[in-house]
Amino acid sequence: MKHFFIIAVLVIASTYGIHAGLNFIGILPIQASAQAVSIDQLFGFYTWGIAFLFSLITMSLLYSLLIFRRKKGEKGDGAYFKGNTPLEISWTVIPLLTVLFLAYFGAKSLANTRQVDPSAMVVQVTAGQWYWQFQYLDYGFSSKDLYLPVGKQVDLQLNSVDVTHSFYVPEFRLKQDVVPGRTIDLRITPTKIGNYKVRCAQLCGANHAYMTADVVVVSEEDFNFWASAQAAAASQNPAGRGQQYVQQFGYLACHTVTGTKGIGPTWLHLYQSQVKLTDGTTVTADEKYLSDSITNPNLQVVAGFSPNVMPQSFAQALDPAQVQAIVTYIESLK
């Protein structure tokens, strides 16, 4: 029993020492979201487990090499024994219970990260080779940087226009793959004001390493000031006004600006592209084509889409200046 007691003391001391060392070097970045709390608790349990298992193996091995090594002059073999039922039961039951506990702990952590706040701010996130674009639908503008108010949940609606990307902010702990043809929700509640980086965590091509964007977490007052300034700037140019009209008249219910197919064709990269029509002809999506498609949608129907789907009332609902602003906005979606 003396040897078991000594090994136990060595294992406990080594476990605490390794855990303290890992915390000292800072293996995780700062915790900056509400969802990171439960994730870090899970990481903490893993860290203790790794430190314990490493100590159990190495301390037992080193102690045995020092104490039970063959002494000078000894010629015989060690005592022979076959089987140890209590030990075999222990190393079967204990790992099983540990795995079941980790499964429960992991499921609980996942549930915590997916809690929904009905009042969450919605930001549409578009990933492409090799950029991030953030559209603030409630405010009517888009940005290349992600600004977030501290303490308020944001619903990031992620989509990709080309290949699979992955949205990852280390300080928020959450990572979500962004898959073409799907919109995936990721909910984050920032808790610490500061500047961070969103990175693509999925190899996506030649410039993958440079696919970053600034994430700026500010007070709610500073966010409202920034959002108002961005919305005002967007409204002072034709493309910005066009984006506001698009949201006002509900165009995004049928068309997307992300490259994915909706009820109608996507507007991303539409301007000056070659469009095949249902009658077999091909036209260039110039300003006249875009304008006619808004005011007379059945004039040139895109192949693969049904006629008489788009409302016929926009010629009366929109004045020429509004139509031109929407066309300018579509032209900007390059």
Q: For 69-107, write each residue's pLDDT tens digit.
A: 877 777 777 777 777 888 889 889 988 998 898 888 888
- Banded model confidence at residue 166, pLDDT cuts 50, 70, 90: very high
Kindly list the domain boundaries of the chain, sorted by start residue: 2-64+84-113, 121-233, 238-332
**Burial of 257: CB neighbours in 10 Å, binned 0-12, 13-18, 19+:** buried
Of the options 1.10.760.10, 2.60.130.10, 1.20.1090.10, 1.10.1040.10, the CATH number for the domain spanning 238-332 = 1.10.760.10
Q: What are phi and psi of 128, to 5 degrees?
A: -150, 165
224, pLDDT greater than 70: yes
Average of pLDDT values for 232-241? Answer: 75
249, pLDDT greater than 70: no
Specify which of 102-116, 225-239, 247-261, 289-303 reaches the highest per-range mean pLDDT.
289-303
CATH superfamily of 121-233: Cupredoxins -  blue copper proteins (2.60.40.420)
Fold equal for 121-233 and 238-332? no
Provide the b/e sequence for 108-120 (b: ≥16 CB within 10 Å): ebeeebeeeeeeb
Output the CA torsion sign for 24, 28, 30, 34: negative
